[in-house]
A and B are shown apart, each in its own frame.
Chain A
Amino acid sequence: MVKEIERAGIPVVHIATVIPISKTVGANRIIPAVAIPHPLGEPNLAKAKQKEIRRTLVEKAIDALQTPVDSQTVFED
């Protein structure tokens, strides 16, 4: 899905936990997520703290969308 949307000319950032799969499906901007069943949350933590983690990941995604890349790039910390 990432590939087809990007093929249409829209930049896509993929937030996913299993990075090798994200690479196989052809994502160019990849943000490693927390866990498979909760990519953008950490259920053990309090709501406010969870939202902070989510905010950090989404900010990384927004930064990635503004970053020029010339090949598949994983945006680590």
Chain B
Amino acid sequence: MRKYKIVHYLNQFFGQIGGEEKANIPPEVKEGPVGPGNAFNNALGEEAEIVKTIICGDSYFNEHKEEVQAEIKSTLSEINPDLLIAGPAFNAGRYGMACGGAAEVANELDIPVVSGIYPENPGYDMYKQFAYFVETSDSAAGMRNALPDMVNLIKTYIKKDGDLGLPEEEGYLPRGIRKNLFVDKQGSKRAVEMLVAKLNGEDFKTEYPMPNFDRVDPVDPVKDISNARIALVTSGGIVPKGNPDHIESSSASKYGKYSLEELYEMSEETHETAHGGYDPVYANEDPNCVLPVDVLRDMEDEGKIGKLHEYYYSTVGNGTSVANAKAYAQEIAQELLEDGVQAVILTST
């Protein structure tokens, strides 16, 4: 049997170039496997081999998406691999978006993609149709399981020559794709059986889950901004110097509420970031570049806005679960309503 030729996509961290301080490196191509690629190669044995690795900084990818995608596409067309492995990305948002973005261009070249991701990672929902995403845990501690799961899927893919079965049979996350296939029972019979099961309170499985559209309609605009009270909220982790509430650098278990009274701008002396998911150098040097207190104070003085609310709210949106973020925001919204806040500026890194 011929050996599958694989290209691996990694971020700067798993690509062993560096941490957040290297998140802005442009894509580069290395010979053979790098980092987790070595473990993939060992586990894949004689069936497949990582021949090249593409490494790109997470921030660079997301800030220059089209340019990086074009570069990856041209690299892939040169190498012409049988398969692309991307990540796994776990719950790292920028990395998930990058793995998905790489999958999208591989898909244009008809190169199949196997990746690993935590289902809440925005990269999954956005790019699910372009890759076979294996479900992983939310952090890199899950590499132990993610790796064999991805390898199994790759081996099945090779064995079945690309003709994979349903997501739950093969162990990948649903891709939102509909495929025609022959089944024994006709549709009307299956539907009635499902209905009977439902009426009897028994388990049944829909053949087409309805998408979960949780959208909130836009609220009416602020009528008189020059009299409005405006609050600042951020997922960028800006906290008073010393991080008094010990908000975690990733998977935050809490948010903070901090006073802005008598504060005319943020500075290196007063505030810092607790966020572990981006290079903190700039935010620590000038926290206004994440939370624009200085500018809002000016606009307050000029009468362009009514008032900057005396408290701001902050959490770290790095690997934070959707359920937690939702709960924090519900509490925050309640307080803002009670305090008569009419509009919110929310900044994200």
Contacts and interface: CB of A to CB of B under 8 A. Distances in A.
A54 B294 contact: yes
A17 B223 CA distance: 27
A9 to B, nearest CB: 6
B205 interface: no
B216 interface: yes
A39 B348 contact: yes
A60 to B, nearest CB: 11
Nearest to B63: A35
Interface string A1-18: 111111111111111111
B-side interface size class: 35 or more
A39 B236 contact: yes
Given A5-B332, A13-B346, A17-B63, A69 B218 contact: yes
Contacts of B315: 1
B239 interface: no
B329 A1 contact: yes
Contacts of B97: 18, 20-21
B289 A40 contact: yes
Contacts of B286: 41, 43, 47, 50
B283 interface: yes
Interface of A: 1-18, 20-22, 24-29, 33-41, 43, 47, 50-51, 54-55, 57-59, 61-62, 65-71, 73
5 A-B pairs with least C-beta separation: A41-B289, A4-B329, A8-B333, A28-B218, A1-B329
